[in-house]
Structure 1
Amino acid sequence: MKAIDNTETASCLTNPGRRRVLLGGAGTFAALSLIPLSPLARAEEKLALPDYAVWKEADAVIVHSKKTIETKRDAIGSGGITSTDRLYVRNNLPPPSAEVMTNADAWEIRIEGVNRPATLTVAELKKIGVETVVAVLQCSGNGRAFFEHGPGGTQWATGAAGCVAWTGVPLKQVIDRLGGYQAGMQYITSTGGETLPEGLDQKLVVVERSVPLRALDHAILAWEMNDEPLPLAHGGPLRIVIPGYFGVNNVKYVKQIAFTEQQTTAKIQASGYRIRPVGEKGAPDQPSMWEMPVKSWVTSPVSRSKAGINMIYGVAFGGTVPLEKIELSMDAGKTWQAARFLGADMGPYAWRPFVFATDLKPGTYEIVSRATDINGQTQPKHRTDNERGYGNNSWSDHGLSLQVS
């Protein structure tokens, strides 16, 4: 079993050799307690929050870069909704100018591939309908830090995920208002409104994603998150939200929705975000990062605790289907016991916080969790190795080592 906490993850981002030591074998739990952070690593992990996200709670996040901010493992808490100021950030391009938020209702979106194509403002969308859905937002690369081959990209551990209350208009209502989508359409293709670099083929850089038509049943065009206007850092003024799908499909600053017969040829779709063998290039015939699989991990305590009654907390979700159960192991998966879900069930796309109460004696405990959805799909023990480090839902990787004194 492999384990790592977010403090260690942050320090190894800028020191690849250190990351190989931490992630390279069966002695990970021992390595975590024996290898101290160097002064350089301690300095490097304290990057400043970028201007567009300066309002984030600095002590609750790890700033990997101007475009990537991770929630610390123990900052999730035991509630169902992730606080906006703690939610992770993943941008493929710099966000638009903050000026677009001065009159968010004026933001326009073009709808194509329908019987009555139209350009609508956010203000007009608000008159069509409104709904709130609670759904997990998770980066495709969440858990990438645990892959032994060292895939490129941000070395997310567990913090590129959160559970959010999204408010907006169901996309289906908008499409019905426009006479429905045209015959023969198979995909919903969303295009982001970031300013693209000049001098480059736009298809190489544009954030444009296609998802199967089945997503229409639950997709929404969101202008609020957690009962507040959608901030620029998270896609404001308008974002498409496709509950149960990986974050890249939830296109920020969405400026166009098109119903299409084929997937977009944009690089981010055609070769990016594809599950492919290590060492191979991306291609359109490889599986795309669409629906999320069942997953869970422990959130606290993350490293040390006192002997006696301990409450072990975590989160679990089923992707596009509800959960059936959650189990916890204190001995790296040798034995399992039932944990219990906390709070109200906020729907099939939300995560469920869970808790396990246990009386612990002094010693080291290797803690892992394992979720099962209503279709009987259970988290696997091992990850599926792939070139980009996508879709890691293995229970062994997401464990942690708890020192009890």
Structure 2
Amino acid sequence: MSRDGITRRTLLAASAAGATLASTAGTLAGTTWRAVAGAPAILKPLPPEWFVDFGTNAEMRWESVDPRRYLTAPSHLFVRNHTVTPTIDASSYRLRILGDAVAGERSLSLRDLHRFRPVEVTTVHECTGNGRSFFGSQQGETVSGTAWTLGAVGTVTWQGVRLADVLRAAGVRRDAVSVQATGLDPSFVSGGVDHGPVRRPFPIVKAYDDALLAWGMNGRPLLPDHGYPLRLVLPGWVGIASIKWLGSLEVSTTELTSPWNTRWYRMSGGAYPADAPPLTLNPVRSAWELPWDATLPRRRRLELTGRSWSGAGPIARVDVSLDGGRTWSHARLRDRPRGAAWTRWSVAWDRPTPGAHTLLARATDVHGRTQPDVTPYNSQGYFFDAVVRHPVTVA
């Protein structure tokens, strides 16, 4: 494997994905992905044993996660839509690159993008509001937004090209400071106000660092609900930054703004100042691979599993409590460090007593960031990273 994680298998998978994009466009836009739940916002099937259906959004159920599988299958990945999933013809698709920091506007087809060196990146993909419901159920606070538990997350291996390579080929000026990514989904209307298509700027340094233009997930073309035929991926950052159905990139010598970084996806309320910065790097979180209020069989030993992740880097340690926080022990980490991807872990529960119990998991990443006991309040319910108290019953 090379320094960039590129292998012959990666190259073959990327090439196959590119060859498939145009040929599958009609199928993806037609009967194969006819909405069966979440309609009309979401196109892929949402079986209730896999998802909590919120209509425009769908949350992965942790009890549907296979502890033996590291990656999240696209069919199981959560969906966060502001409006509805569009159907886009890959054969006529173009990515526009424009702005005062480029030599001239460019229009790139998928074929053009496939001429760049392909790469793949494995990273956690997560909604900024993941865990939002626990502000109410665990901290007694009222916040707005979709009442996610912890299933608005997944780990995916993305196939695509580095944004840095594309920007350099477009002749971006050295004094560029900001890039605004705009999606091709319908305009978002709220309170009678048309805010336009979903779009959000990010610093040019992130664009040159690890940003990706992705056409594939886990070796296959993107599903429509996850950005087909092309999306932006900003590893480690809030999900809203990884714009789906990418239509254009505006590169500017001045700071760009949109409602998605000035009005939403920044902290407000509580102790936060009015000029709190836009949210970027995801916090540290942990989840048990169990239903909420799970009933567990009484045995001499129970093997419990879960996953932890951080936007800043690998997980270094996971501490767990099987008695509501009275005692703690180290969980066994089951994966080698993988950048901004998650880590699976397990713990043996010897001779659990019958009755109600509360499970806790607290992760710490390689930078020393750890989960707190309480998440500071914010009105939008972003970044709930406190240790979640997971109830179970042994019977």
Supply the AA of the counterpart residue of 2:95: I
Which amino acid in the other structure matches residue 133 of structure 2? A
Output one character per residue of 1:117-143: Cα deviation in whole Å (capped at 9) or x when no partner.
411011110111211111111111111
The answer to whether 1:50 aligns with 2:36 is: no
Match of 1:225?
217
Match of 1:82 in 2: 72
Where in structure 2 are the equivalents of 1:338-353 lying within 5 Å? 338-345=330-337, 347-353=338-344
Q: Distance in 2 between matches of 1:195 and 1:49?
A: 17
In 2: Cα distance, 1:62 partner to 1:318 partner: 24
Give the corresponding residue for 1:385: 377
* 1:308-327 matches, cutoff 5 A: 308-327=300-319
* Contact 1:109–1:255, Cα closer than 8 Å, also in 2: yes
Tell me the residue number matched to 2:53. 63
SS of the residue 2:114 aligns to: helix
Match of 1:138 in 2: 126
SS where residue 315 of structure 1 aligns? strand
The SS at the match of 2:115 is: helix
Partner of 1:109: 95
Per-residue CA deviation, residues 25-84 of structure 1 (Å, 9 max, x unaligned), is xxxxxxxxxxxxxxxxxxxxxx9332543434442101011x110111212231221121
Could you tell me which residue of structure 2 aligns to residue 128 of structure 1? 116
Distance change (3 Å), C-alpha of 1:287 and 1:138: same
Tell me how far 1:246 sits from its aligned partner.
Answer: 0.9
**Letter in structure 1 aligned against 2:160:** G
Amino acid at match of 1:349: A
Instruction: Give, in whole Å, the separation in 2 of the partners of 1:262 and 1:271.
Output: 19
Task: Give the counterpart letter for 2:340 in structure 1.
Answer: Y
In structure 1, what residue type is equivalent to 2:142?
Answer: G
Gaps of 5+ in 1: 1-46
Tell whether 2:325 aligns with 1:333.
yes
Deviation of 1:85 after TM superposition, in Å, equals 1.3
Establish whether residue 375 from structure 1 lines up as the match of residue 367 from structure 2: yes
Assess if the C-alpha contact under 8 Å between 1:273 and 1:288 holds in 2.
yes
Per the alignment, do residues 309 and 198 of structure 1 end up closer, same or farther by CA in structure 2, a change over 3 Å counting? Answer: closer
Q: In structure 1, how many angstroms separate the alpha carbons of the residues matched to 2:188 and 2:370?
A: 43
Superposed counterparts of 1:270-289, under 5 Å: 270-278=262-270, 285-289=275-279
Matches within 5 A, 1:89-108: 89-96=79-86, 98=87, 100=88, 103-108=89-94
The residue identity in structure 2 corresponding to 1:157 is T
**Whole-Å separation in 2 of the counterparts to 1:254 and 1:117:** 16
- How far does residue 237 in structure 1 lie from its aligned partner after superposition? 0.9
Amino acid aligned to 1:129? R
Which residue is 1:170 aligned to? 162
Shift, 1:197, TM fit: 6.7
Judged with a 3 Å threshold, the aligned counterparts in structure 2 of structure 1 residues 368 and 262 are, in CA distance, closer, same or farther, namely farther
Q: Partner residue of 1:38?
A: none
Q: Distance in 1 between matches of 2:254 and 2:304?
A: 46
Given residue 373 of structure 2, which amino acid in structure 1 is its aligned partner? K
Q: Which amino acid aligns with 1:248?
A: I
Q: Name the SS of the counterpart of 1:123 in structure 2.
A: helix
Report the alpha carbon displacement of residue 108 of structure 1 after superposing the two structures with TM.
Answer: 0.8
Which one of the candidate residues 53, 61, 73 is aligned to 1:72? 61
CA contact (8 A) 1:366 1:399 kept: yes
Contact 2:60 2:152 in 1 (8 A): yes
The alignment's TM-score, normalised by the length of structure 1, stands at 0.80
Using a 3 Å threshold, how does the CA distance of structure 1 residues 197 and 215 change in structure 2: closer, same or farther? Answer: closer
Contact 2:62 2:291 in 1 (8 A): no
Aligned to 1:59, the other structure's residue is in SS state coil
Matched, 1:290 2:280: yes
Q: How does 1:144-223 map to 2 (within 5 A)?
A: 144-147=132-135, 148-179=140-171, 181-196=172-187, 204-216=195-207, 217-223=209-215
Tell me the amino acid that sits aligned with residue 74 of structure 2. T
Shift of the 77–126 alpha-carbon distance from structure 1 to 2, 3 Å rule, reads same
Q: Measure, in 2, the Cα distance between the counterparts of 1:296 and 1:142.
A: 11
Listed one character per residue, the Cα deviations across residues 201-227 of structure 1 (whole Å, up to 9, x for unaligned) are 75x232111122332211100111122
Q: 1:236 aligns with which of 202, 225, 228?
A: 228
Matched with 2:17 is none
Q: Partners in 2 of 1:238 and 1:157 — Cα distance?
A: 28
The alignment partner of 2:289 has SS state of strand
How many equivalent pairs are there? 347
Partner residue of 1:25?
Answer: none
TM-score w.r.t. structure 2 length? 0.82
Alignment check: 8 A CA contact 2:37 2:45 kept: no
CA shift in 2, pair 1:278/1:262, >3 Å: farther
